A and B are shown apart, each in its own frame.
Chain A
Amino acid sequence: MIFFRIINKSFSAKIFTHLSGVMLLITLTLSIFYLQIQKEYLTNENIKHGKMLTSVLASNVRLGMFAEDKNKISESLGAALSVEDVIGVCAYNIEGQLLYRETKPPWDQTEICIKKKNATGQFFEQLKISPETLYLDNARRIEFWHPVQSASSQLSIDYMYFDEVNAPPSPNDMYVVGFVGLILNKTYLQKAIHEMLNKGVLLLIFFLGLVSVATYFTIREVTKPLKRLINISMNYGISKEAKDDVGVLADTFDNMIVTLNNSFKTINTLKTDLEKKVEDLEGEIQSRKKIELALRESENKFRSISEGIADGVAMIQEGKFTWLNHSFCNIFGYNCEELLGRNAEELLQPAQQQPAGWRRLDKISVESPGSPNQIEVLHKDGNRIIIDIKASKLIFAREPAIELIIRNVTERIKSEKERKKMELKALSLSKLASIGEIATGIAHEINQPLTFVKIAYQAALRDLDEGRFDEKEIRYKFREALRQVARITLITEHLRNFGRKNIASRSDLYLPEVLDDAMILMAERMRLRSQVLIRDIENDLPKIYGNKMQLEQVFINLLQNSIDAIEEVGIGKIRVSMKKAGDFLETTFADNGPGVETANEQDIFEPFFTTKKAEKGVGLGLAIISNIIKEHNGTIEHRRMQGWGATFIISLPITVHH
């Protein structure tokens, strides 16, 4: 039990037992193999020895056998008994008569050659023709039998005198004169085999011992580092209940890994803590530095920055300029020395006369702290200039001050006005263009009711002519004709309004109605192209405040764009939805055309951007629309919507009544 425990515990012991086992197995197999071969060899040798002895005897006994001389036979055969393992010898003549039989003392004469005597005939017949010694293997002994041969007894007459007349008698001329039997004791063979076996086993044991010792020392040498490792592990308090050495090692490594992991975790948390602290510290230092730097350098910086920029910057303290940059002086056309110390109010006198006691500076700084304000002032040369002015209160040079930042926008305002004029021109142009464009549609729009009226009147006239007087019928026709005429009137009225140059003033509008008005002009065009308008308009929409004609133009333009776009597709639809969204009324205008190409998205609101042919469009439509919407404090943007082509979303502020 202890042994097994040791084996299980110690790694070297395990290796040792395994190796020894393998060695034992190999050696055993080899030994058994070797012994088997040896045994076979010994047995064969024994048989060989017996055969040789017998054939020698057979040759020796020839003469005695020839004369059947018992003494001679005894002389020839008796010597064989001196051989250790020979039990007995016997001789028979050719007729099967026992001529001689002799045994060694403990053996009984009558015990040997008996069987042969009984079974004479067959066995001796077989022996006669046998070319070599026959042997019979019994449990205790082996019998060898050999025929005794003699040369032909007659010599030729010549041969009596001369040797070489004929060839000397050949073995074929030999003939059998008797038989010799030799009995070997098998116990000698068995003894020899036993001896060999004993020797083999002894050798095996010796060899195994040697190998074991060698293996033991080798393993001890090899596992020395392992032992040291295990001892170290033991010192580190690894459970001694572990199955074996390797188990101890495994436990040690497990523990080590766990400990290491924990250590790593601790180190990590420590590290992050430290990092944070360092960061905090750095941040603090940085901010302190920053503050200090800012404090120290803000003025200088301020100065240098201010000097470098195009905007004019000035500091007003107690109503007087205490600091100016060059741009400020330039804008007013003065030298900076001239302005320093001057009264700020004086310089900022508005170009037009204001009521007395008006303090501009206060107004600016109070009304719009930080936000730009446009005022008109006088340049040194007496011209009016428009400046954007921004005022804010601050501490400058440790004193409260008003900072002024100004920009000369005279030129820009001028050009903007110019642009406005241009746009207006373009708008009317566009209107005219639109009118021209839609003229055909309008003609049709008018033509249809006219035709109806014409037919109604013709029918009524015919009825009257023919004396058929159906009052009810005629009344209906006339009323219908009147309605058609009213429609024509509406169209023409509308056209008149549309063409009017001056911009109608704003009013509260119900936006769907504006769309309806736009449709009066556009419906026929859409019908001709099999296009439909889908209206998705919320009930109880609030009104907006705006210019009806302008907004109608927005819709007309959007519709025209969509019609153009869909034309390429075929049957199409335009969907207009309106809903309230907070303070705004949101109109979504979508068609199922190909949509705006991504590359063009940025440019479509730009004036004169178009992808259309010269006779179809000039690229002003969306530009005008965006202008009109801006004037209404609304927004317009282009968006992509799943399943639709171009989609425009227009937001207009809802009217607020005070």
Chain B
Amino acid sequence: MHYFNASLLSHMLRIISNKKIFLILFIFISFQKTHAWADDILVVQSAQLQVYNNALQGFETIVLRDISTRGLKTIQPHTVTTRILSAEKNLQHLKQEIARRHPDLLLVIGSSSLALVKGISDIPIIYLLAPNPGLVAGTQDNITGINMNVTAKQQLTSLIHLIPEIKRIGLLYNPDRTGTLVREAEEFAKRIGIHLVALPVKTSKEIPSRLARMKDKIDCYWMLPDQTVITPQTLDYIFLFSLENRIPVLTFAEKYLKLGATLSVSFDATDMGKQAGELALKILNGTKVSDFSPVQVRKVNVRVNHLAAKLLGIDIMALNSHE
């Protein structure tokens, strides 16, 4: 699809380079009031990460497939230009360049990219893969995006689906950070008849003792994206605890699988990119950004660490890591 567009583009350019046609085109163009060309989309990506690339690819499949029905856009797709933040030398220059270029839409992938473009108010901005956008950019009318956090419901559903024996789930959380998530979880758990042992902690130092206290009271430990609970030290502790007490760990990111987590329920980056693409097209077609509240990730990936599962003696049915 992409290649077809490229050959079409070159073909069109060859027609334009013919002077007579160019003259006709010029007269035709001069009658247009706004959006004389296809929409210009600038992507600012924090780094060259596989997950970011996947998201971008999802985004592009949606955006480039769409050919505008307005004016000349009928024969030219949107342009997507990508800048990698970690490869830029001077971020300030980049910011100035963005202002000068004034694209039709900005897609920012990763927290640092979002941090860079915050403050730009006259360009619609869509974020992707920013774990806590509110913390980074506050609330701005021209910013919207895809919320990457898998909901408690999504996670618990996946867990129960895979390991139906689990009845008691333990978790540690800092009420200041993940209190809302825990409340949602408690609600959902109650509905499906799961006993949630949620112990609040204030500092990471408390983790070992709190964990020790849950020892015999839980069938599974649920790891939340809580910065107080997740530190290099506590991670060691949590996985040690899991191994010693044969308690599986459910986590929110695939990266923990290799550290010893048993199960991960996380977003699907490509699909998230597609969601962003759909969102972008709506915005480019005239819908106001402020009309959209951030969109929840719709598709999750469930992955299993079979080695860990084996070590813990857990039988995981219907194993299908790539759902």
Q: Which residues of A contact B (CB under 8 A)?
A: 62-63, 66-69, 72, 150-155, 157-158, 160-165, 169
Contact = CB atoms under 8 A, between A and B. Distances in A.
Contact of B49 (A62, A152, A165): A165
Among the interface residues A62, A152, A165, A169, which one has the most CB atoms of the partner chain B within 10 A?
A165
B123 interface: no
Interface string B133-152: 00100000000000010000
Contacts of B231: 153-155
Contact of A169 (B148, B225, B232, B266): B232
A157 B111 contact: yes
B233 interface: yes
A450 B283 CA distance: 188
A160 B205 contact: no
Given A66-B208, A157-B111, A163 B233 contact: no
B163 to A, nearest CB: 23
B232 A160 contact: no
A160 B227 contact: yes
A63 B205 contact: no
Contacts of A160: 131, 225, 227, 230, 253
A6 B111 CA distance: 100
A565 to B, nearest CB: 132
Kindly list the 3 A-B residue pairs having the minimum CB-CB distance in the complex, ordered from nearest: A67-B208, A151-B232, A153-B231
A165 B84 CA distance: 13
29 contacts: A62-B236, A63-B208, A63-B237, A66-B205, A66-B233, A66-B237, A67-B205, A67-B207, A67-B208, A69-B208, A150-B232, A150-B233, A151-B233, A152-B232, A153-B231, A153-B232, A153-B233, A154-B227, A154-B231, A155-B232, A157-B131, A157-B227, A160-B131, A160-B225, A160-B227, A161-B225, A162-B129, A165-B110, A169-B232
Contacts of B111: 157-158
B204 interface: yes
B230 A155 contact: yes
B253 A161 contact: yes
Interface in B35-57: 46-47, 49, 51
A61 to B, nearest CB: 12
B49 to A, nearest CB: 6
A158 B110 contact: yes
Given A63-B240, A160-B227, A161-B252, 19 more contacts: A63-B236, A63-B237, A66-B205, A66-B233, A67-B208, A72-B208, A151-B233, A155-B232, A157-B132, A157-B135, A158-B111, A158-B112, A161-B148, A161-B266, A162-B51, A162-B129, A164-B47, A164-B49, A165-B49
B209 interface: yes
A67 B232 contact: no
Given A67-B205, A169-B232, A161 B255 contact: yes
Contacts of B225: 160-161
B262 to A, nearest CB: 18
Given A158-B110, A161-B255, A162-B49, A153 B204 contact: yes
A46 to B, nearest CB: 32
Contacts of B253: 160-162
A68 B233 CA distance: 12
Contacts of A152: 232
Nearest to A66: B233
B47 to A, nearest CB: 6
A104 to B, nearest CB: 28
A215 B207 CA distance: 78
A161 B269 CA distance: 12
A157 B266 CA distance: 15
Nearest to A165: B47
A160 B259 CA distance: 13
Contacts of B47: 164-165
A155 B225 CA distance: 11
A153 B233 CA distance: 7
B245 to A, nearest CB: 15
Nearest to A163: B255
Interface in B216-261: 225, 227, 230-233, 236-237, 240, 252-253, 255
A72 B211 CA distance: 14
Contacts of A153: 204, 231-233
Contacts of A72: 208
B252 to A, nearest CB: 8
B230 to A, nearest CB: 6
A129 B204 CA distance: 25
B228 to A, nearest CB: 9
A13 to B, nearest CB: 78
A461 to B, nearest CB: 166
Interface string B81-93: 0000000000000
Nearest to B48: A164
B226 to A, nearest CB: 9
A169 B235 CA distance: 14
Nearest to A64: B208
Contacts of A163: 255
A155 B207 contact: no
Contacts of B49: 162, 164-165
Contacts of A158: 46, 110-112, 131
A165 B46 CA distance: 8
Q: Most chain-A Cβ atoms within 10 A of its Cβ — which of B49, B112, B233?
A: B233
Nearest to B149: A161
A151 B204 CA distance: 13
Nearest to A164: B49
A234 B236 CA distance: 96
Q: Which of A151, A152, A162 has the most CB of B within 10 A?
A: A162
Nearest to B252: A161
A153 B252 CA distance: 19
Contacts of A154: 227, 231
Nearest to B258: A163
A178 B303 CA distance: 38
A69 B234 CA distance: 13
A591 to B, nearest CB: 134
Interface in B79-119: 110-112
Contacts of B132: 157
A42 to B, nearest CB: 37
A161 B46 CA distance: 14
A154 B174 CA distance: 14
A68 B135 CA distance: 33
A161 B49 CA distance: 12
A169 B148 CA distance: 24
B255 A162 contact: yes
Nearest to A156: B111
User: Which of B135, B207, B225, B232 has most chain A Cβ within 10 Å?
Assistant: B232
B127 to A, nearest CB: 13
Nearest to A174: B232
A158 B46 CA distance: 11
Contacts of A165: 46-47, 49, 110
A150 B204 CA distance: 13
A153 B231 CA distance: 5
Contacts of A164: 47, 49
Contacts of A162: 49, 51, 129, 253, 255
Contacts of B230: 155, 160
A161 B208 contact: no
A518 to B, nearest CB: 148
Contacts of A155: 227, 230-232
Contacts of A169: 232
A154 B230 CA distance: 8
Nearest to B136: A157
A160 B111 CA distance: 12
A66 B231 CA distance: 11
A163 B51 CA distance: 10
A486 B169 CA distance: 196
Most chain B C-beta atoms within 10 Å of own C-beta, residue among A66, A154, A164: A66
Contacts of A67: 205, 207-209, 237
Nearest to A152: B232
A150 B237 CA distance: 13
Contacts of A68: 205
